[in-house]
Every structure is written in C-alpha cells, then in structure tokens.
Amino acid sequence: MARVTVEDCVVRIPNRFDLVLVAAQRARDILAGAPLTVDRDDDKNPVVALREIAEETVDIDALQAALIQGLQRHVEIDEPEEEQSEFDIAGLEMAVGAGQPVAAGAQADDEADAESEMAEAGLEPIVADTEGGDEEPA
C-alpha cells in the first residue's frame, strides 16, 4: 500500500492550510455517504480524501465551494421583490400629492381637531401675518 504524503497533495493545493480544510471537507462528504473515487484499501476517510486529492479524482473547486457554504453563518437568499398593488401605488401618489387632492372638508376637520387639542393644552395657535405688519399673533 502506497502512503499518501502531504507533498503529493501540495502540488494540487499549494497552501497547506487550504489543503487541510479541503481534505477535511472531502472526508466529511465520504462519511456522509459520498461515493469513493479511489479504492479504500482499509484506509480511513481522511487518508482516502488525501489520496483522491493527490490523484485529482475529485473536483477541488466544488469542495472549496461546499466548504465555504458550510462555514457561512448568514446565507443570503435571492427572493423576488414583491409587486406593489394598485392600492399601495394610489396611496403613495396621494401622499406625495400626485393623486386626487384631499377634500377641503377633511382638511378643515383636521385643522379643527388640532386647534381643539391646543386649546385643551392651554396653548394659543400662532397666526402668520400675511400683510407684513408688526402685529402680535392673535
């Protein structure tokens, strides 16, 4: 039986740390039931993984992608954006003034409510002088 050394695998993956991570990922895949691409020869999963890497019988890029995906804590999922309904668009247009104007009666009711709340709080409304005089607010 031929012994697998790290030097055989470093030719395929130059960084030894990356080699260890990729070999460990492949060993986990084998443990999970992935088919072997080389004969086991009574070797344990990490040794089989190193032999597969040395003989280039596995896709290293796919192993690295699976490793990265497995280590990610937050995975972004591309979801289609929700379409706005006609009601939402109409409400948005009215909010910016592009739709139909607010009824004069509704506006007057809002002003009356605001004045009554100020009167209850003991506050006097400030009236802007439109004629440009130096008079005090009423």
Residue 30 lies in a domain: yes
One domain, residues 54 and 101: no
Q: Distance between CA atoms of 18 and 27, rounded to whole angstroms?
A: 14
Q: Summarize pLDDT for 112-121 with one digit per residue, the tens.
A: 777 777 777 7
One domain, residues 28 and 67: yes
Q: Distance between CA atoms of 13 and 19, rounded to whole angstroms?
A: 6
Residue 108 lies in a domain: yes
One domain, residues 12 and 66: yes
DSSP assignments along 116-134, one per residue: HHHHHTT-PPP---SS---
CATH number, domain with residue 61: 3.90.940.10
43 lies in which domain range? 6-71
Q: What is the 3-state secondary structure (H, E, C) of 49-82?
A: HHHHHHCCCCCHHHHHHHHHHHHCCCCCCCCCCC
CB of 76 closer than 8 Å to CB of 63: no
Q: Summarize pLDDT for 3-19 with one digit per residue, the tens.
A: 677 888 999 999 999 99
Residue 81 lies in a domain: no
